Structure 1
Amino acid sequence: MLRLDDITVRYPGEEHPVLRDLSLTVAAGDLVGVHAPSGTGKTTLLKTAALLLPTERGSVQIDGVTPRGTGYRVPREMRRMLGIVFQSPRASTDGRLTLRRIIAAPLSHDRGFLRPRPSEQVEELADRVQLSADLLDRLPHQVSDGQLQRACLARALALDPRVLLCDEPTAMLDAPTTAVIMHLLREHAESGAAVLLASHDRALLDITCDATSSVSDLATPAVSSR
C-alpha cells in the first residue's frame, strides 16, 4: 500500500510549494489514476511517492512504514519495493548503456535475493513489454522513444515492486502497445501491488483505472510548473 498524508513539497529557494496538503492512498491490488496536465505537479508527486524528494510537511508510507530520509538514505529493502517509470525515457537512462543493461540494472544491485539468472530475466521482461530480442543490445540513440520507454517499464518491473509509479508511461507509444502496457499495469496491480498512474489523458485513466482523481482534487492548489 502507498499512502501520502497531507504532504507539502517545496523546492529549495522557491517561495511557493509545488504541492500543498496533498493526501492519497493506493491500496494493494489497486490501479489508481491521477489526471495531471502539464504544470500541476505530477512529476513532483511521483518523485515524492518514490522517496526521491523530501516533504516539507506530511508523510509517505509504504506498507504502513514511514521511512526516514530520501534516495539512498532509504533502506535498500524499502527501495527495492518501489518501481518508477519517468515521463522522459531519455532523461532517465544512461545513453552509454544498452537496453539489456538498462533493464538489468536493478538486478545487478539486488544482492541477497534468490532470482533467476539476470540474462534470462531480462529477456523475459523484454518479452512482457513487447521489446524484441534484437533491440536489447542497442544503445538508446539507436531505438525510438517508445522502445526506450518499454525498456524503462521492464526495468521498473524487474524486482516485482510492491508499489509501481508511472509518469505518462504510454505518452510515446502507439495505440496497440499502449493497450499492452496498460494490461501489464493492471496485471501487476492484480498480483497485489499498488499502482499509481499519472497522465494527462483522462479518458485512458477512466477506462483502465479503479479510481481517478485530479491533482487539484487531492491537494490545495499550489503555484508550480513542475
Structure 2
Amino acid sequence: MKEGLATDGAEPLLVANSISRRFISGGRRVTALDDVSITLSAGETLGLLGPSGSGKSTLARVITRLIEPDAGEVSFAGQDWLGLKGSALRRQRRLMQMVFQDPLGAFNPRASVLSAITDPLRIHRLAPRGQWRMRANALLDRVQLPASLLDRGIGEISGGQRQRVALARALACEPRLIVLDEAVSALDVSIRGQILDLLVELQRQDGLAYLFVSHDLAVVKAVAHRVAIMDAGRIVETGPTGRVIAQPSSPMARALIAAVPRLHQERPR
C-alpha cells in the first residue's frame, strides 16, 4: 500500500530529543515517557507501535503540544517547537494537525459538517468567508465524501464518514504533519482499509508526513515507512518497517508480531 520514500538527505521535519514525562496516579509517580527520541522526515510515515500504556499516545500529545514534557526538546519545521508561545504558537499550530481515535468526541456534537471543516479557515484566516463553502466542498471531495453532507450534523453521519471529515478538517489547515492517534482502530475492517488507502493517496499528493500511533502491527505495516516500538515509556526498537517485522530484535517487537496471525501473508485487495 505505501510507496517508497526518498528524503535526499534533507533535514528532518520533526525531531524529538530525550523527551520525558511523569504523572502522579494514585499517589504514585508514574513514568509515561523516559528519554524518548524520534525523527520524522517530510513525506514519511513513522509508525509508533506498542501495547496500551506503553507511552505512545503521551508522546503524540507532547509533540502536538497538548501536554508539556518534563524534559527534552522538539524541533518542528526548523523551529524550537516547545519554545513557541502565544501568537507565534497559534500561527504555527496549523502546520501540525491531529486526528483522534474517537471522531465524534473530537467535534462539537451539535456542529454541522460545514462548520467543522470551515472552523480552521476562520480561525487561521486561510480564506475569506465567501469562499468557505467552496473550500469545504473541495475538501470533502479530497476525502471522497459527497458535498451533500455539508449541511448534515456531525452526529448524523457514520463513524467512517466522521473520520473522513476529521481528515478534511486537518487538511483545511494546509499542514505538513498529521499525527494520527489510533485513528482507524474504531472502524470496521472494510472502512479501515479505505481510510488507509486514502491516507497514502493524500501523502502522495501533498508530501504529508504522518506520525501513525497504533497498537495494531498489521495496520502499521500497511502504511509506515519506518516503525518505532515502545514499551514502558521507552523506544526499544526502531527501523524500516519491513526489516523490523522480518528480523525483530526486541522482545516487545517479537510479541507484537506473534500476536498477529499470518502477518506476512498479504491481505487480498
- Counterpart of 2:22 (choices 10, 14, 24) is 10
Question: Partners of 2:195 and 2:230 in 1: how far apart?
Answer: 23
C-alpha offsets along residues 154-209 of structure 1, whole Å, 9 cap, x if unaligned? 11111221111001222233444433422333344443332111112201211221
- Counterpart of 1:193 (choices 208, 233, 239) is 208
Gaps of 5+ in 1: 222-226
Q: Which has the larger radius of gyration?
A: 2
What's the CA shift for 1:115?
10
- Counterpart of 2:164 (choices 147, 150, 164) is 150
Q: TM-score, normalised by structure 1?
A: 0.85
Aligned position for 1:167: 181
Any residues of structure 2 matched to 1:9-158 within 5 Å, and which?
9-11=21-23, 15-68=29-82, 75-111=89-125, 117-158=131-172
Question: Partners of 2:33 and 2:148 in 1: how far apart?
Answer: 42
Gaps of 5+ in 2: 1-12, 237-269
What's the CA shift for 1:80?
1.4
User: Any idea what SS the aligned residue of 1:20 has?
Assistant: strand
User: Any idea what SS the aligned residue of 2:66 has?
Assistant: coil
Runs of 4+ deviating beyond 6 Å: 112-116
Question: Partners of 1:115 and 1:26 in 2: how far apart?
Answer: 35
Do the aligned residues in 1 keep the contact of 2:54 with 2:233 (CA within 8 Å)? no
Aligned position for 1:224: none
Question: Partners of 2:126 and 2:143 in 1: how far apart?
Answer: 27
User: Any idea what SS the aligned residue of 1:197 has?
Assistant: strand
Q: TM-score, normalised by structure 2?
A: 0.73
Question: Which structure's residues are more often strand, by fraction?
Answer: 2
More displaced stretch, 151-160 vs 139-148: 139-148
Percent identity over paired residues: 33
C-alpha offsets along residues 39-71 of structure 1, whole Å, 9 cap, x if unaligned? 222222211111221110001110121134678
Residues 124 and 174 from structure 1, CA distance in 2 versus in 1: closer, same or farther, beyond 3 angstroms? farther
